[in-house]
A and B are shown apart, each in its own frame.
Chain A
Amino acid sequence: EVRLVESGGGLIQPGGSLRLSCAASGFTVSSNYMTWVRQAPGKGLEWVSLIKSGGSTYYADSVKGRFTISRDNSKNTLYLQMNSLRAEDTAVYYCAKDYDSSGYFDYWGQGTLVTVSS
């Protein structure tokens, strides 16, 4: 059974850093495209970042230069390192598995809430 479990969210001051984790089971993270999608409170979905199976990484313009996506193959875990956080980064962050490198997301985690506030 495929399962994705995010962790690492919390309250952080503007300008601070946070690392989100997404522990996967039931499939191999490194063999799949993996993505982060966020949802601000009461708002819609926003794609944040993707890592290909080959290791190439992609970012939304809103986070480019501040966020870094990575993975630990030995732990079968996806990460999102978030630096220079802003109030507008406040959201629930979901990790999701891309189906067969297709571009749509067949499995999602339950999400972790990041709140950026002083």
Chain B
Amino acid sequence: EIVMTQSPATLSVSPGERATLSCRTSQNVNSNLAWYQQKPGQAPRLVIYGASTRATGIPARFSGFGSGTEFTLAISSLQSEDFAVYYCQQYNNWPPYTFGQGTKLEIK
């Protein structure tokens, strides 16, 4: 099973600033990595797939980078609606699909 490690657990950033979230995998997953956003009481929402491709309707301020075992989700010029928990997920080696433990992006 591929283990996913996200850092930091909590990230405090001011609106308008840039946020950088990290995800590390225990094995090479190539570019088979997705990012999801989850707000309280809501289902997850796909943000990035293929490590760097934005999902439908996701603003250009969201960017994904990386391949292999190191990945980054960057959000430039944070808006109020961006504060949420973000999860990475690998889909290179399955079953099982595995998720990171999440990074909570909070308002500073």
Contact = CB atoms under 8 A, between A and B. Distances in A.
Contact of B89 (A60, A104, A111): A104
A104 B95 contact: no
Contact of A104 (B34, B98, B100, B102): B34
B1 to A, nearest CB: 8
A46 B44 contact: no
Contact of A46 (B34, B94, B95, B99): B99
Contacts of B42: 110
Main secondary structure of the interface of A (DSSP, over half): strand
Interface residues of B, number: 25
A61 B97 CA distance: 12
Contacts of B89: 45, 104
B87 A47 contact: no
Chain B residues touching A, majority SS: loop
Contact of B100 (A37, A44, A61, A99): A44
A44 B77 CA distance: 26
B43 A103 contact: no
B43 A47 contact: no
Interface string B35-71: 0101000111110010000011000000000000000
A5 to B, nearest CB: 11
B100 A103 contact: no
28 contacts: A44-B87, A44-B99, A44-B101, A44-B102, A45-B99, A45-B102, A46-B99, A47-B94, A47-B99, A50-B97, A58-B95, A58-B96, A60-B96, A61-B96, A94-B43, A94-B44, A99-B49, A102-B49, A102-B91, A103-B91, A104-B46, A104-B49, A104-B91, A105-B44, A106-B46, A106-B56, A108-B43, A110-B43
Interface of A: 35, 37, 44-47, 50, 58-61, 94, 99, 102-106, 108-111
